[in-house]
Amino acid sequence: MTSSSSDRAAALALLVSTGFLIGIGFPLGKLAAQAGIPPAAWSFAISGGGALVILGVILARRQRIAWDRWHLRYYLVAGSLSYVFPNLLIYAAIPRLGAGLTAIYLTLSPIMTLTISIVMGLRRPGWLGFAGIALGCAGALTIILSKGELGGSADFAWAMAALLIPLSLAGGNVYRTLDWPAGGRPLGLAMGSNAAAALCLFVAALAWDGAMPFAPLLAAPLLTLGQIAVSAAMFALFFRLQVVGGPVYLSQIGYVAAATSLVIGTFLLGESYAFVTWMGGLVIVAGVVATTLDRGRK
């Protein structure tokens, strides 16, 4: 196997495994909502628990953690864009839209990542690129106008607000690549970003959910520990994928995550979606295929 083919195989393995772990988080988030855990507290458990587990790995390997201004800025901005804003929206939206439908929004991340790259002058797309963006917008509109789970009634305002999930993730994808600190290591950056996110989420949980926002976490220890284990493994792979694949390739974890969440939501949580919802997802996939095949200049 040549070096280039080996790199592609490694990137694909990281893409599938990272997306699968993210996809598991959506059904777990629905179970957390059913257990009465507020979104901010649940998001704090994900980032805080993940940061502690990764910190343990770093200390065991006797690696150094960077705390200079560049790294601190990276931790705060990357943590906010990649974890604080999207996770608060995701776990607030899941009870209202369903785990599967909320996960479908992740499939818009590659198109929004490309759009941000175009706006910032990082890429000049051809006609396929513009067609892909148009298809992605059409698919998103179809999903927003759908009714969510069959037998349910998706809130239109929440369906619109959920568009901020892939937008925030796309911004994080581009930022992490552009501002990657010199000498930055994936594990150290994952730990620092999640620690910064956990601090923000701790304050948010106290501000929004009262004096005892974390009590429900202690009432569901197995669920909480399971999510922490999944998150820690995902974060460790996520930043490695950022190095190997770059922002646009990494953004395609949304497909794997959405497929995983839809399968679990449908077969284990009893979710069911209308035909128009599935069609909207397929239109988004078609848009992403078009942007992937686009030969525009970087």
Q: Give the domain ranges of the chain.
A: 21-293
Instruction: Identify the bridge partners of residue 297 per DSSP, sorted by sequence position.
Output: 124
Percentage with pLDDT > 70 across the chain: 90
| Angle between helix 69-79 and 186-209 (nearest 10) | 50
Least confident range from 125-139, 161-175, 223-237: namely 125-139
Percentage with pLDDT > 90 across the chain: 34
Predicted confidence (pLDDT) at residue 99 exceeds the cutoff of 70: yes
Least confident range from 71-80, 149-158, 181-190: namely 149-158
Concatenate the DSSP letters of all residues of 97-155 into one string: H-HHHHHHGGGGHHHHHHHHHHHTTS-B--HHHHHHHHHHHHHHHHHHHS-SBTTS---
| Whether 282 contacts 110, CB under 8 Å | no
Count how many Cα atoms sit within 13 Å of the Cα of residue 206 in the half-sphere of its side chain: 5
Looking at per-residue pLDDT, the higher value among 161 and 152 belongs to: 161
Predicted confidence (pLDDT) at residue 196 exceeds the cutoff of 90: yes
| Whether 163 contacts 9, CB under 8 Å | no
pLDDT for 1? 47
Predicted confidence (pLDDT) at residue 181 exceeds the cutoff of 80: yes
Sequence letter at residue 74:
Y
From residue 202, alpha-carbon distances to 39, 160, 212 in Å are 11, 26, 11
104: left (phi over 0), alpha (psi -120 to 50) or beta: alpha
Q: For the chain, how are helix, strand and coil distributed in percent, rounded to 5?
A: 80, 0, 20
Confidence at 24, pLDDT banded by 50, 70, 90 = very high
Read off the pLDDT of each residue in 175-190 and give the average, rounded to a whole number: 89
183: left (phi over 0), alpha (psi -120 to 50) or beta: left
Q: Mind listing the pLDDT tens digit for each residue in 40-86? A: 999 999 999 999 999 998 999 888 889 999 999 999 999 999 999 99
| Whether 32 contacts 91, CB under 8 Å | yes
Distance CA 174, CA 216 (A): 35
pLDDT for 78? 95
Distance CA 110, CA 288 (A): 7
Closest CA to 257 of 104, 136, 90: 104
Q: Mind listing the pLDDT tens digit for each residue in 104-120? A: 888 788 778 878 877 87
Looking at per-residue pLDDT, the higher value among 68 and 298 belongs to: 68
Looking at per-residue pLDDT, the higher value among 236 and 204 belongs to: 204
The structure tokens 């059913």 sit at: 34
pLDDT for 4? 63
Distance CA 58, CA 81 (A): 24
Q: What predicted TM-score, i.e. pTM, was given to this entire model?
A: 0.82
